Amino acid sequence: MALLEVKNLSISFGGLRAVDDFNVSIEKGQLYGLIGPNGAGKTTVFNLLTGVYQPDEGFIHLDGEDITRLKTIEINQAGIARTFQNIRLFKELSVLDNVKVGLHNKYHYSTVEGLLRLPRYFQMEKKMDERAMELLKVFDLDGEADYLASNLPYGKQRKLEIARALATDPKLLLLDEPAAGMNPNETKELMETIRFVRDHFDMTILLIEHDMKLVAGICEELTVLNFGKILTQGKTSDVLHDPEVITAYLGE
């Protein structure tokens, strides 16, 4: 059984079909790419998968569970986490506290326990601190745990956003243009990071990306969108040599 199964997913805005009959099946542990020109509907697919938008048609199953019309927080609790093309960190919080934000789905204490600083508050905070530091060490950010997130270099902010997403303990990680704004060296390091996350966390990853070198280097299979519709799907090597893809996406 596929970890993610999407069938006939569609949505319209003002009469315009933004995503039309989208289908994909992603196996556990797979590194899967979603590519296409600007405006093809890629981020709209991510917004449908995470409950930001509700589909007009179709369904989404995660690990056999129907999550089609759940709220965003419920989908996250079911096992989908994401990052964004425009990095969304709490920039006035520390690096450590940004990761701890992602841990609040797993570690709980009541408002009263927090206000009165009861023993459970300190127990949960200690557990969150320890877990957050474990994740920061994975990304070599533990030495900057007390820095403001806004003071990190761009590439490390990307890593922090991934660390925060992993803090929710997802089954599926969605990466939206993770290489956007990166130089070639940062992109190469990002490729290594994504592979490491997949292997170290036994993670299934779906990413949107324009950097074709990155896509060719790490994705095992691809779906190509154009005008909200699937142009082609399959093994990366086959898709990237498809004449339709070259014409529609690469502009050649």
Residue 86 in any domain: the answer is no
CB-CB contact of 36 with 201 (8 Å)? no
Nearest alpha-carbon partner for 207 in 57, 74, 87, 32: 32
Residues 45 and 145 in one domain: no
Cα separations in angstroms, 20 against 12, 38, 89, 177:
8, 16, 32, 22
Q: Could you please report the per-residue DSSP string of 52-107? A: SS--SEEEEEETTEE-TT--HHHHHHHTEEE--SS----TTSBHHHHHHHHHTTTS
Residues 104 and 213 in one domain: no
pTM here is 0.91
* List of residues 6+ apart from 185 with CB closer than 8 A: none
The dihedral through the CA atoms of 241, 244, 249, 252 has a sign that is: positive
Range of the domain at 6: 1-79+170-252
pLDDT in tens, the chain (252 residues): 799 999 999 999 998 999 999 999 999 999 999 998 888 999 999 999 999 999 999 999 999 999 999 999 999 999 999 999 899 999 999 999 999 999 887 776 667 666 667 777 678 888 889 999 999 999 999 999 999 999 999 989 999 999 999 999 999 999 999 988 888 888 888 899 999 999 999 999 999 988 778 888 999 999 999 999 999 999 998 988 877 766 665 554
Residue 104 in any domain: the answer is yes
Residue 53 in any domain: the answer is yes
Residue 84 in any domain: the answer is no
